[in-house]
């Protein structure tokens, strides 16, 4: 009798392993991050705002929570500002969402650090950073130029 129970138990274990091995484990795919727009807006006499739009696409079958967005802004190849913003957004499963990343730029700091802008009449910028989804971090990058 005990041999029959042991054989039955062994059969259930084998059956369980074969069912589990035939199930495909969900692949976690990396989200795609694109900077779709960066625009400079004159806000006041002392500072301007660089408004950035990040489009985040989630190819997974589950929501992805955004914990934070880090950024570094380079102007004419010099690091100008850097930081991290906290977010509590969730990117829907199989969907995408726009995330705003506004950066305030003080003109006084800009003029002190970038004397070459008057000679070139333009400011080259590079915005780069990472979006932290908890288990993974995804980089993004955008370059461009503003004419003065």
Rounded average pLDDT per 10-residue block, the chain, 148 residues: 53 46 57 86 80 90 92 86 88 92 80 63 85 88 81
Structural domains in the chain, CATH included, are: 32-147 (2.60.40.10)
Task: Give the pTM.
Answer: 0.67
* Of residues 143, 51, 35, 144, the one with CA closest to residue 104: 51
Q: In sequence order, what DSSP letters do the residues of 48-84 get, joined into one string?
A: EEEEEEEEEE--SSS-EE--EEEEEEEETTEEEEEEE
Alpha helices (runs of H) in the chain, residue ranges in sequence order: 2-22, 107-113, 117-120
Per-residue confidence (pLDDT) for residue 123, from 0 to 100: 78
Per-residue confidence (pLDDT) for residue 105, from 0 to 100: 80
């Amino acid at each position: 009798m005990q041999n029959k129970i042991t054989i039955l138990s062994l059969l259930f274990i084998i059956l369980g392993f074969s069912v589990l091995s035939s199930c495909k484990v969900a692949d976690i795919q990396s989200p795609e991050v694109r900077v779709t727009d960066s625009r400079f807006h004159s806000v006041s006499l002392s500072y301007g705002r660089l408004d950035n739009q990040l489009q985040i696409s989630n190819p997974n079958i589950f929501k992805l929570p955004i914990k934070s967005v880090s950024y570094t802004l380079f102007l004419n190849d010099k690091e100008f500002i850097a930081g991290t913003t906290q977010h509590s957004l969730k990117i829907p499963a199989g969907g995408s969402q726009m995330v705003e990343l506004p950066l305030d730029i003080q003109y006084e700091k800009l003029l002190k650090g970038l004397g070459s802008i008057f000679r070139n009449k333009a400011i080259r910028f590079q915005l780069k950073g990472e979006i932290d989804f908890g288990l993974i971090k995804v980089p993004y990058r955008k370059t461009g130029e503003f004419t003065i």
